[in-house]
Chain A
Amino acid sequence: MPDHILTYLIFLPVLAAFLALFIPRDRSAWFRVLNLAVCGVQGILTIIAIVRYGSETGDLRLIERTEWFSLNLGTWGSLRAEYFLGVDGLSLPLIALTVFVMIIAGISSWTITKGVKGYFTLMLILNAAVIGSFAALDLLLFYLFFEFMLLPMFFLIGIWGGKRREYASIKFFLYTLCGSILILVAFIGLYISGSVPGDVATHTFNIMYLRDGSNYVPGSVLDPSGTWLIGGWSARNWAFLLLFVGFAIKLPMVPFHTWLPDAHVEAPTPVSVILAALLLKIGGYGLLRIAYPLFPDAALSLSWMVGLFGVVSIIYGALTAMASKDLKRLIAYSSVSHMGYVLLGMASATQEGVSGAVYQMVSHGVITTMLFLIAGVLYDRTNDRMIENYSGLARIMPVYFVVVLIAFFASLGLPGFSGFIAEIMVFLGAFRSNVIHLSLAIIATLGLALGAAYYLWTIQRMFFGKLHVRGAASTEQLTDLDLREKVMFLPLAAITLILGIFPQLLLNYIDPFALGFVSLLTGGS
């Protein structure tokens, strides 16, 4: 078994989804149990994977590699696609995060009553696609998993979502597809220009080969030593820009973020959780795994732009969050703000910054899961998420209040929580960086203050003061957390605390990756 552990991780849910098709549709409990069982087995597999991975180096481990297909392209050689999986210090934490969040989302999905069969089938497919994206090391394979997330997500939002679900699902789909088309343009250029070592006639999608500048066909469009210009600008810069925008839509980055608040607000709670905690990470992952390492030269020269957009996202996201009246929308915009730190961290091109970016992705994954569940708790009880309609909730929902405090403080970056470690590292990198301007780092610190402001203000408005509920809801509906909800929140709170107090647990994996990443960047310039 251990030889193909990543394959098992990816295809177990696919198999389960296939099995689910044969379960009668009225057996809701079966689907819930099946989904949880799959996630549970994935959890065990992930622990085995972590143990087998070790932590000393930033190398790829658990590699599975075999030829997928090889197309003969006539006079200009052949094209080889590989089934190539592997994990390193970047993808292993993200895969662990995926499995963990999927378990929580699975439990959270028990409130779904409509079309349970279709819902869990799509969830299982989504599960496989996300893990596949993190594990794939061949561009075509990556693209397959990347696109495979779209349709399940479209239907999950569109069928099980809120009032404006149709608008939100279409918008999500169009934005994301636009992004993936841009990515595809760059991928086509990459495989046409790249080849396997020592054989210029065999074109490849293999990311590890394409990282090496000597594997490009001399004179091809994306040859690092070539001087191919398109519109007066180097073709490699264009390709980087395409990948950057493509992944930035997914991230999402201001100004390509407008799909996110709609999709998040309309999606049912577990789907929002997956969207925010996992799908956004694919954007950051794509930048760190593909855009930067494949175009280190272009990435360094355009880092100012990445950093600038990062800072814009931080500030704009925070300001919009502060202005949001809907709790879920506030959380959605806080995601935009927090993903800005990921951009800033990688733009700094320092080890601290890159480590901080990866740390932020994992930390945000955990914290945002809590945040969306918190919004879900309220919505499940009253069908109303307007912040202004509540006050003094701390009196009648004490446990909920504690959970909200933990989540909000973790998210605003209070020391002791994982968010703090991530942000402090990003800032360390940004201030020390000689790639991006110091002013960007200084402006970004504003984001910290704004983050504290909108979270504390929300707590003040909703939980302090006299007990008061406006609108259709009544105070009787506002019961405290039940056992199922406590079971979901407990591990989440524990993990963000553990990662805040013992950052080395995660940095042991991330740091070697960041070191290799930075040396690739600076060595390649």
Chain B
Amino acid sequence: MIRIPLLLITGFIAQLVIFNYLSPSGLGINFTLLIAIQIALIRGSYTGELFGFFSGLIEDIFSLGVIGERALVRALIGFLAGRFKGKFAVQNIFFQIFLVFFIFAFYNISIYFIRAIFYYSPFPLKRILLISALNSIIAPLVYHLVKKASAR
């Protein structure tokens, strides 16, 4: 059970130290969201939504932005992704890419709307496709990484 919080912290540090750093022109890899999706696919909705919520909350706090936006959307994503557990061939690379692409698009659009509704500075919509594509490409790799790390 301790592995999940450890994964959360490790993922967050990796995001902070490596992936935030490797984001040319803001086209970054959202490693914590990728982990949240994979955790949900492997462990199911319950773990997925909790992981998503807390990973989002930590990032909200550290980003100095709107507290709660990432937590809210990621909890929802964790829940939705968890519904696919055992139902589809989650190990399939193309399924991974396809799913992650749509989840990322959903995530970014949701953030955009939350910010628009609550009068915060909105997310640049133009980049959604590029960010989603970039993250979906590395999704299969993260899946195997998370699977090994979270193996009971």
Determine if chain A interacts with chain B.
no
Q: Residues on B close to A: CB < 8 A? A: none
